[in-house]
Structure formats: structure tokens, C-alpha cells
Amino acid sequence: MFVSSSLIVLFICGYLIVKSGKIPQTQIIKWSVIFSVLTAFAIPSHSSDLYGYIARGAQQSLYQQNPYFETVSEINSYKSNPLFLNFMWPSQQTTYGPFFIFITKAIVFLSHNNFFLSFINFKLMNLTLFFLLLFFVLKIGDEKNVYLIAWNPLLLVQGLWNCHNDFFSGILIFCGVYMLVKKNYFWGVFLFVISAAVKYVSLIIFPLVLFKIIKNNPQLKVFLNIILGIISGILLVLIFSTDYLVSVNKFSHEDFQTIFSNINLVHKSFISTLFSLIKHCCRLSGSECNYSFILGALKAIFYSTFLLFYIFVLVKADKVVHNIALILFVFFAFVIAKFHSWYLLNVIVLLPFLEESKLKKILIALSLSHVYALTFIDQAKILNFTFMTFLPVLYIYFKSGSKS
């Protein structure tokens, strides 16, 4: 709690100084680099995902397992191997994209199947990505936008400290958007494909980008670049997926049910909050409720509403970068059934591309509120969503007035 609050106070104070123009950009970057290095090599707090990445790599590098069809629990005495330290999902197949799963294999293999070296190399990967992000932000942003990334609490905590792979997919999204802004359509869509092979959420970006480009009646050269970018990205992903697809004949009905049940989880989201409230009301009133039906109905309502909203944005809105950030924000904050604070890394990185608007202010606010995912608030379903997402969004929305 103390560290989280200190980060927020320091960020707000620094932001006010930057807005006043009293600090040069070089100072922002210099101290950011120093602090980011310290953060990057800190032991993860309140997250075991980094240990999961190491375990997935060890599955492949040391035991030649296919993490899509085989589980760590099938390995004899895996608990005695340091590479599986703090691994929380030994009986589940992986749910990450094939590009990232291959990277876990490569890092553990290049680390000579050593836990400490693997830990350091995963940390170095995210730190390198952070420096890459700073490099591009310096090319497109003023001091304020540079500060919003260089000292963003959520990026530092969840991207470097806890080393989540959402930081990887988020930076690929950022670079894809950067290329689109520069009208380099080949690399733009190529990077979106690779991002989707890390975390599948990037797939919802494609209709927005393609519809916008088609709507502007592009030249044949633009169409060819887009098609080649998509095909090249898919081919690269297939190359990295070859070893995993070989074992597809092992995929059973039970495997499908396991993966589907994991995707179907409801956790720390708006849907989870409403479902918990309904359950409490049913129990207090003594009513017999069909909880499975209620949960299914909530999901159907939220997903169908999001689809209508998506179509509206697709047809009516013209600012493609703003639309990408808006759709990702709405999806993560209000639609997805299973939510963790680090999912927002996929959209927070887009702050430098956004003009002053409600959306930009909301994303800044969420960069602060979701730092408290490190504290006890993260353990409470209703408190988690209400205090870290819902109230900050409402406050910024009404405080900013009707003009976005």
C-alpha cells in the first residue's frame, strides 16, 4: 500500500511539474531509465505470471512437452525442479499465443535451463521493450506525453516489476499504430498479427483498421501492402507454431473442455461484480436462483451490447487510433469476463497518440488506480472493480463535462 501510494503521489507531482514546463525532457528520461532498471530487477509482487513463463519454457526446453496439449503435472517430480517455482497452473494447458510460447522456450533454452538466468533474461526482455517504447515516444511526443509513458505507474509496476507479457503485446500494438500513422501499412498490420500471436486480444483491432482504410478508398499499392503484411505475419506465426501443430492429433475433447473452461472464467470484472451482487441479493432474500443461467445471461447481454457498440464505432467514428484505444479500453474495463489490471497495458501504451480527451484522462486515471492491484483491494471482487475501474471512470467522465 505504501509503495503504491508513493508511486501515485510522485507521479502526480511530477506530472504537474512537467505541465508547467520546469523540467527538460532529458531529465525525465534520465531518471526514468535509472528507476526503470531498479524496478525491472525487483522480485515480482502479487503476481506469479513470470514464474509461469519460465515454467512454460522449461516444459519445452527441458522436457520436450507441447504446452498446448500436455500439462506440467504430467512431469514426474516437477515440484523439485527450481524452474517450476511458484508455478500455479500445473494441470492446465497454456492459453498464450504461439509466438510468445516459442519465446519462453527460446529464453529458457538460451539460459541453459537455469532458473536465475531465465528470470533475469525475461526481465531484460521487458526492460528492452520499455526502452524501445521510450525511443518511439520521444520521436512522436512532447514532454508531457513522454512523461506519461516514462513514469507511468502501471507500466513500471505491471510491465517491469511484475514482467507481464501484456507489456509485450501492448508494445507491438503501439509499434503497429506508429507504423499506421506513418502510413507504413505493411509493417502496421504485420505487427498487429504478431501481437495477436502473443495475446489474442489484438484480433479485435483488425476490423477497425481495415474498415478505416477501405473507407478512405486507398490505392492498389496500399491494399497490396496490407495483404502482404497480413500474410507475412501469419506465415511467421505458423513457422513458430510448427512444433505445436504437430501434436494436434493428441487434442482430445477433454483438452478442449479444459481450455474452454479457462477462457470462460469470470474474475474481477464488471460481469463478476454484477454477478456477485445478484448472488448476495438472492441469498439475502432467500430466493432460489439459477446462477448458471444468470451468469450466461449477463455474458450474452454484455457481449451483444459490445458488438453493437463496436459496429457503431466502426461505422460512425473516423479517428482510427482513438477508436483502437476506445475499443480496447471498453473491452477490458467493462466487457471481458476475466480481468486483471495488467491487461490494461495493451491500451495504456497508446497515450502518446491520443489528443486531449475524456478517454486520455480516463486512461491516465486508470494508470494510477490500478497500481493498487498490488494491495488487498485486488482480493475483493466488488471492491476491485468499483474502486479501481468504475469510480475513476465515472469521476473523469462527469468532471470533464459533455465535451470529449
Note the pLDDT tens digit of each residue in 322-336.
999 999 999 999 999
Q: Are residues 214 and 166 in the same domain?
A: yes
Q: Are residues 98 and 222 in the same domain?
A: yes
Model pLDDT, residue 330: 96
Model pLDDT, residue 263: 63
238 vs 403: CA distance, rounded Å: 45
173 vs 162: CA distance, rounded Å: 20
Q: Are residues 336 and 221 in the same domain?
A: no
Angle, alpha carbons 221-226-227 (nearest 5°): 100
- Total domain count for the chain? 2
| Domain edge (last residue) among 219, 247, 275 | 247
How do the residues of the chain divide into helix, strand and coil, expressed in percent and rounded to 5?
Answer: 75, 0, 25
Torsion of CA 203, 207, 208, 213, to 10 degrees: 130
Rounded to a whole number of angstroms, the distance between the first and last alpha carbons of the chain is: 33
Is the CB of residue 233 less than 8 Å from the CB of residue 190? yes
| Domain edge (last residue) among 232, 247, 262 | 247
| Domain edge (last residue) among 206, 225, 247 | 247
Is the CB of residue 324 less than 8 Å from the CB of residue 170? no
Q: Which domain holds residue 321?
A: 252-404
Model pLDDT, residue 379: 63
Q: How far is CA 258 from CA 82, 221, 404, in A?
A: 26, 44, 43
368 vs 384: CA distance, rounded Å: 14
Residue type, 286: G
Q: How far is CA 1 from CA 200, 250, 369, in A?
A: 32, 46, 12
Task: For the chain, state the CA radius of gyration.
Answer: 22
Query: Residue 139 is placed in which grid cell?
Result: 520521436
Q: Are residues 275 and 232 in the same domain?
A: no
Q: Are residues 264 and 240 in the same domain?
A: no
Beta carbons within 10 angstroms of residue 256's beta carbon: 10
Model pLDDT, residue 158: 93
Q: Are residues 112 and 51 in the same domain?
A: yes
Q: Are residues 146 and 240 in the same domain?
A: yes
Residue-wise pLDDT tens digits, 251-261: 666 666 666 66
Q: Are residues 143 and 101 in the same domain?
A: yes
Q: Are residues 277 and 241 in the same domain?
A: no
Nearest to 145, CA basis, from 398, 363, 403: 363
Angle, alpha carbons 359-363-366 (nearest 5°): 135
DSSP three-state, residue 340: coil
Nearest to 69, CA basis, from 239, 237, 247: 247
Residue type, 302: F
Q: Are residues 280 and 200 in the same domain?
A: no
Residue segments in the chain with a per-residue pLDDT below the cut of 70: 217, 247-264, 375-379, 381, 401-404
Beta carbons within 10 angstroms of residue 372's beta carbon: 21
Q: Are residues 318 and 352 in the same domain?
A: yes
Q: Are residues 187 and 217 in the same domain?
A: yes
238 vs 74: CA distance, rounded Å: 27
